[in-house]
């Protein structure tokens, strides 16, 4: 398996927000939830001796292939090559938060500590307005409008629906 993580909690929330919206885009008859859902974000200490970074030269020249919103073929191919070369992790730019980066940890040997660190509780509310994510401690609030993500799978989203 692969452990997917974001380098910052804000990038992780953007990724989560997108996939929650994608669920509702692909199930238009599903009503919006009445209440916010709670999610736990946490940090993991990662230490890898062998990793590749798709955001740096020379691999960044193929950035367009690594960041296609609906075609993961190039990413899966580079992951296969990384495994064959016994790489432990792949760092790549987040499609949902282009200023952020994600990590695909290819082996559990990349975890530097056995337990997660810095847990945070986030409440995510979804509705016809888009998505709101709120963390009370530390106080952080994010909003994603109906047009926050440029992904064709969200283009036909039925925003007006019951609870």
pLDDT tens across the length of the chain (163 residues):
899 999 999 999 999 999 999 999 999 999 999 999 999 999 999 999 999 999 999 999 999 999 999 999 999 999 999 999 999 999 999 999 999 999 999 999 999 999 999 999 999 999 999 999 999 999 999 999 999 999 999 999 999 998 8
Q: Is 88 exposed, middle or buried (0-12, 13-18, 19+ CB in 10 A)?
A: buried
Residue 162 lies in a domain: no
Q: Going by C-beta distance under 8 Å and a sequence separation of 6 or more, which residues neighbour residue 146? A: 129, 130, 157, 159
C-alpha R_g of the chain: 17
Task: Extract the tokens encoding 141.
Answer: 């609030």
What is the reported pLDDT for 85?
A: 97
Residue 148 lies in a domain: yes
Number of domains in the chain: 1
What is the reported pLDDT for 162?
A: 84
Note whether 87 and 51 are within 8 A (CB).
Answer: yes
What is the reported pLDDT for 123?
A: 98
Residue 43 lies in a domain: yes
Residue 163 lies in a domain: no
Q: Going by C-beta distance under 8 Å and a sequence separation of 6 or more, which residues neighbour residue 117? A: 42, 43, 44, 45
pTM of the model: 0.91
What length is written for the chain? Answer: 163
What is the reported pLDDT for 15?
A: 96
CA dihedral of 133, 64, 44, 10, whole degrees rounded to 10: -20
- Name the residue range of residue 83's domain: 3-154
Note whether 59 and 71 are within 8 A (CB).
Answer: no
Residue 109 lies in a domain: yes
Residue 57 lies in a domain: yes
Residue recorded with tokens 């692909």: 26
């Amino acid at each position: 398996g692969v452990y997917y993580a974001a380098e910052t909690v804000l990038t992780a929330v953007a990724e989560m927000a997108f996939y929650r919206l994608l669920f509702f885009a692909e199930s238009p008859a599903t009503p919006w939830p009445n209440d916010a859902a709670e999610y736990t974000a946490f940090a993991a200490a990662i230490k890898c001796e062998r990793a590749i970074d798709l955001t740096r030269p020379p691999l960044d020249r193929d950035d367009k292939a690594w960041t296609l919103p609906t075609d993961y073929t190039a990413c899966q191919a580079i992951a296969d090559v990384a495994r064959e070369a016994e790489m432990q992790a792949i760092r790549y730019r987040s499609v949902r938060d282009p200023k952020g980066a994600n990590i695909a940890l290819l082996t559990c040997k990349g975890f530097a500590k056995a337990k997660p660190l810095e847990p945070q509780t986030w409440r995510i509310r979804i509705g016809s307005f888009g998505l709101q994510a709120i963390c009370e401690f530390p106080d952080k609030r994010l909003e994603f409008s109906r047009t926050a993500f440029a992904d064709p799978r969200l283009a036909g989203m039925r925003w007006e629906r019951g609870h």
